[in-house]
């Protein structure tokens, strides 16, 4: 049945599954683009620089990672030859620095603070970290923009083909099309352990921030 009087979900087929996957890749790349653009707007000296740049890297590579519910983006869209070096750099930076601590961009040392006489007065650890350079961030921004444009082109072509395929479907046929499973839960039940299924399912988690009120309208 239609989701509303103006929107319906297409029936399952290889092409409609691909369209959903392409939308998922586009969402990842959009998140990456927003994050790296905000990082460049904030500037290299901003405390937001590294968190935003790091998230941009994670979101970008997420589009290319194979998971239990979708293949990586390169199964459908190739990385242009002139972007391969940048793409590989982003992947390496994600793997060695953002997702794991394995690179020489971070160094942790056990230090001794010495007295005027040269003896140890106290001991403390220190970690030195090199944040993402601005020039590298601009390379990431270009890669995100170009891959996003390629995905958008694929979506346009596929959506046009599906429009031509389904535009003559009758209201009776559309009435039998599937609907996604929509649910909601209290935020206290959020575990982040769910897995996407073939049948689309979405759960919204809600918070209660308003204090309960008594019958007279005052706080209990």
Segment 159-184, tens digit of pLDDT: 999 999 999 999 999 999 999 888 89
**Is 211's pLDDT higher than 60?**
no
Name the residue range of residue 186's domain: 14-206
pLDDT band at residue 202 under the 50/70/90 scheme? confident
Structure confidence at residue 210 (pLDDT): 45
Q: Is residue 8 part of a domain?
A: no
Secondary structure of residue 108 in the 3-state scheme: strand
In which band, very low, low, confident or very high, does the pLDDT at 212 lie, cut at 50, 70 and 90? very low
Strands (E), 57-196: 106-114, 120-129, 181-186
**Residue 217 within a domain:** no
* Residue 188 maps to a domain: yes
- Examine residue 212 and state whether it is found in any structural domain, yes or no: no
- Residue 219: inside a domain: no
Would residue 38 count as lying in a domain?
Answer: yes
Question: What angle do helix axes 14-42 and 134-166 make, rounded to 10 degrees?
Answer: 150
Summarize pLDDT for 68-112 with one digit per residue, the tens: 788 999 999 999 999 999 999 999 999 999 988 888 888 999 999
pTM of the model: 0.84
As for how many domains the chain has, the answer is: 1
pLDDT at 218: 47
Distance CA 70, CA 17 (A): 10
Q: Is residue 9 in some structural domain?
A: no
Q: How far apart are alpha carbons 176 and 179 in whole angstroms?
A: 9
């Amino acid at each position: 049945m239609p989701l509303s009087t103006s929107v319906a979900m297409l029936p399952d087929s290889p092409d409609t599954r691909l369209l959903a996957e392409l939308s998922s890749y586009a969402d990842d790349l959009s998140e990456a683009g927003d994050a790296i653009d905000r990082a460049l707007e904030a500037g290299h000296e901003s405390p937001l620089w590294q968190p935003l740049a790091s998230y941009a890297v994670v979101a970008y590579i997420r589009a290319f990672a194979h998971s239990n519910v979708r293949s990586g983006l390169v199964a459908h869209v190739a990385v242009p030859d002139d972007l391969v070096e940048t793409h590989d750099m982003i992947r390496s930076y994600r793997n060695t620095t953002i997702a794991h601590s394995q690179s020489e961009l971070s160094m942790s040392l056990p230090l001794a603070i010495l007295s005027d006489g040269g003896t140890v007065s106290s001991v403390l650890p220190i970690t030195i970290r090199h944040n993402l350079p601005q020039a590298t961030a601009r390379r990431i921004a270009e890669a995100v923009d170009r891959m996003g444009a390629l995905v958008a082109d694929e979506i346009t072509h596929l959506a046009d083909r599906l429009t031509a395929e389904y535009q003559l479907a009758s209201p009776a046929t559309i009435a039998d099309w599937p609907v996604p499973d929509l649910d909601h839960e209290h935020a206290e039940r959020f575990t982040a352990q769910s897995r996407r299924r073939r049948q689309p399912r979405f759960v919204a988690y809600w918070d209660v921030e308003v204090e309960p009120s008594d019958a007279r309208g005052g706080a209990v």
